[in-house]
Amino acid sequence: MWRSHFIFVGYFGILFLASVLITSCGTSKKTSKQDAPSAADDKTAKEATVDEAFLTVLNTNRSMLSDAYSNLNNDIPEVFLKNSMAPDIGDPYQGYRIQILSTRNVNKADSLANDFHFWADTAMVGYTPRAYVLFLQPYYKVHIGNFHFQEQAIELNQKLKSRYPDAWVVPDGIEPELVPSDTVRFAPSDSTSLKRR
């Protein structure tokens, strides 16, 4: 008996869900043929003709309008009209350094930085760059110098390549007060002192 009761409830539930689904899919408004244009549509048609009439009057009289400043030339000094040959510095704390080592051994990085300091004090003429030990997880990196322009960093990097073959120029934060002047040329005191002992 219970079984027949569950079957009856199941059928009734299915029929109920089907009827709800069918009635919810239908539209609530009857469709009809499109009616004639209403008063609102007629109003927009009149506005369109007014706009066209206004544009016609405007276009015919536009040449009568004058610009009081149309014949004036700007007086910009010639200095500001020339293209600059120097690259834009931008942020004074952003520039370039030379990376000579990247290692996971902090003692090796500190040792190489100290070695560079002693060597640069005796071997470099005109500019003695500083060595910085930076930790960028998981590596300790030794960076050399402070340069606003990449060209100066490349020039010193070419001189350092014989002593530090893995040296390369990297963008980095710099100390602007330690940037060499534009006239500095990087030359070792003698070419044999560049080789690492």
pLDDT digits (tens, 9 = 90+) for 111-168: 999 999 998 888 887 788 999 999 999 999 999 999 998 998 998 999 899 899 999 9
32-67 residue pLDDT tens: 555 555 555 555 666 666 678 888 877 777 665 566
Range 161-169 contact pairs with CB under 8 angstroms and sequence separation of 24 or more: 162/194, 162/195, 163/119, 163/194, 163/195, 163/196, 164/100, 164/101, 164/196, 166/100, 166/101, 167/98, 167/99, 167/100, 168/98, 168/99, 169/96, 169/97, 169/98, 169/99
- Cβ contact 125:132 at 8 Å: no
More confident: 72 or 42: 72
Tell me, rounded to whole angstroms, the distance of Cα 59 from its chain centroid: 45
Residue 193: the pLDDT is 47
**94-175: which CATH topology?**
Alpha-Beta Plaits (3.30.70)
Residue 69: the pLDDT is 66
- Hey, is 23 helix, strand or coil? helix
Q: Is the pLDDT of residue 170 over 90?
A: yes
- Cβ contact 146:176 at 8 Å: yes
More confident: 10 or 179: 179
* Helices and strands in the chain: count of H runs, count of E runs: 5, 6
The structure tokens listed for 126 are 């005109």
CB atoms within 10 A of CB 157: 24
Residue 18: the pLDDT is 78
Residue 197: the pLDDT is 42
Tell me the average pLDDT of the chain: 78
Residue where the block lists tokens 């002192």: 193
Residue 136: the pLDDT is 92
Q: Is the pLDDT of residue 13 over 60?
A: yes
